Structure 1
Amino acid sequence: MEKWIEKFPQDLQQKVAEVDRMIAPQLAAVDEMVLYNQQRILDLYRKYHVAEEDLVGSTGYGYDDIGRDKLEDIFADYFKCDDALVRPQMVSGTHAISTALFASLMPGDTLYYMTGMPYDTIQQVIGIVGDNPGSMKEYGIKFAYTPLKDGKIDYDAVGKKLNQDKSIKVIAIQRSRGYATRDSFTVAEIKKMIEFVKQIAPKAIIFIDNCYGEFTEKDEPTFYGADLMAGSMYKNAGAGVAKSGAFLVGRHDLIMRASSRLFAPGPGKGEGATYGYQRDFYRGFFLAPHTTGEAVKGAIFTAALLEKMGAEVSPKWNAPRTDLVQTVIFHEREAMIKFCASIQHNSPLNAFVDPIPSEMDNYEDEIIMASGSFVEGSTIELSSDGPLREPYALYIQGGLSYAHVKVAITNAVNETYYKK
Structure 2
Amino acid sequence: MCRIPGATVTNVTISLAGLNLLLASIFILALGRVIEHLPGLRQLNIPASVIGGLTCSVLLSGLSFYTPIQFEFGLALRDACLLIFFGALGFTAQIKRLQQGGRTLAILFGITVIFLVLQNITGVLVASLLQQPLIYGLLAGTIACAGGHATAITWGTVMEAHGFTDAVEFGSAAATLGLVLGGLLGGPIAQRLIHRHQLQAELPELFLNDTAQTEETVPTTLDSVMGAAVLLALALSLGLGLHTLLLRWGIIIPSFLPVLIAGATLTNLLDALKVTVHQSVIRLSGNVTLQLFLVMSLMSSQWLTLADNAGPLIAILAAQSLVMVMFASFIVFPLVGRDYDATVLCAGFTGLGLGATPIGIANMQAITDQYGASSKAFVLIPLMGVFCLDITNSVIIEGCLQLPFIVL
- Is this a same-fold pair by TM over 0.5? no
User: Which category of TM-score, normalised to the shorter sequence, fits these structures?
Assistant: under 0.3
**TM-score with structure 2 length normalisation?**
0.24
Tell me: higher relative CO, structure 1 or 2? Use CA pairs within 8 A at least 6 residues apart: 2
Structure with a larger share of its residues in strand: 1
**TM-score with structure 1 length normalisation?**
0.24
